[in-house]
Amino acid sequence: MPIISTRELVKTYSLGEVEVRALRGVSIDIESGEFLSVIGPSGSGKSTFMHILGCLDRPTSGQYVLEGKDVSKLSKNELAVIRNRQIGFVFQGFNLLTRTSALDNVELPLLYGGNGMKTAERRQRAQEALKEVGLADRANHHPNQMSGGQQQRVAIARALINEPSIVLADEPTGNLDSRTSVEVMDIFQALNTDRGITILLITHEQAIAEYGSRIVGFRDGRIVADNQTKARRIARDEMAALPLDVDVEPANQPSVTTTIGA
């Protein structure tokens, strides 16, 4: 049984008189443990597709079966419960609370889970998630004291905190330089191969898509290509050869902006 199965998903946005047909009949089966890259030009419906798969939005028509359960017609509250338990999200802009520590950011989803966890247990879980992304020593830093790559790793830790079976990532390397992008892709590959998490990653860059084991192409709200590939593996020496991430540590920089020409 596929972990995700859609049939003829259609999503139409109404903007007054105008109708935008963002998805025009998307049918796909995704097996548990796949690392699927979705690639396509801007406006082709990738994010809309991810929002529906992530139970953030509902299709206008069509069927969506998630882990054997038809979720196409569930209420918003029912979708929220499923989302919180089964799905982790990573976004291009990190979506972190900037005035809160990395640890608090990672812990946040546990507060909404209704899991009855005690404070100490939540802290412990968040600390472990940060360790998993290599940021154990940055737990008390705020996002604005971290480089883009570090912020994205905090976001990944947050996505993992509820132990989801699926991680959905929308252009997660869109704001990162090439070396940091590779480091982030390395984390996604490890989550997939070591922990068996199903990954669906959206990108408009072919080189990033190639880290997946299956590449699905979107155009005008439809799937136009679907290929199994040999996932490009990240070699340590390949990473070392890339230009170094300008690992800005704004914490060590003066916070006062200099007025030029004053």
Q: Which residues bind ligand ADP (CB under 6 A)?
A: 13, 15, 20, 22, 40, 42-48
| CA atoms of 51 and 83, how far apart (whole Å) | 11
Residue at token pair 């507060």: 111
CB of 200 to Mg ion, least distance (A): 13
Nearer to ligand ADP, 24 or 123 (CB): 24
239's enclosing H/E stretch is helix 236-241
Output the smallest distance, CB 172 to Mg ion, in A. Answer: 12
- Nearest CA to 168 out of 79, 58, 50 is that of 50
Kindly tell me which of 9 and 159 has the beta carbon lying closer to ligand ADP. 9
Which residue's CB is nearer to ligand ADP, number 102 or number 223? 223
Q: Which residue of 47, 145, 173, 198 would you call a contact of Mg ion, by CB under 5 A?
A: 47
Contact 247, 180 (CB under 8 A): no
Structure tokens at 213: 């084991």
Nearer to ligand ADP, 164 or 221 (CB): 221
Find the length of the chain.
262
SS3 159: helix
d(CA 247, CA 146): 8
- Is residue 173 a contact residue for Mg ion (CB under 5 A)? no
Which of ligand ADP, Mg ion, none does 25 bind, CB closer than 5 to 8 A by kind? none
**Is residue 183 classed as helix, strand or coil in its secondary structure?**
helix
44 part of the interface to Mg ion, by CB under 5 A = no
CB of 207 to ligand ADP, least distance (A): 18
The residue range among 21-29, 45-53, 148-156, 214-222 that interacts with Mg ion, by the rule CB under 5 A, is 45-53
Shortest gap between Cβ of 41 and Mg ion (angstroms)?
A: 10
Residue (13 or 112) nearer to ligand ADP, CB: 13
Report the alpha-carbon distance of residue 90 to residue 201 in Å, rounded.
Answer: 9
* Distance between CA atoms of residues 24 and 190, nearest Å: 33
184 binds, among Mg ion, ligand ADP, none (CB under 5 to 8 A by kind): none
> What residue number has its CB nearest to Mg ion?
47
CB of 68 closer than 8 Å to CB of 222: no
Enumerate binding residues for Mg ion (CB under 5 A).
47
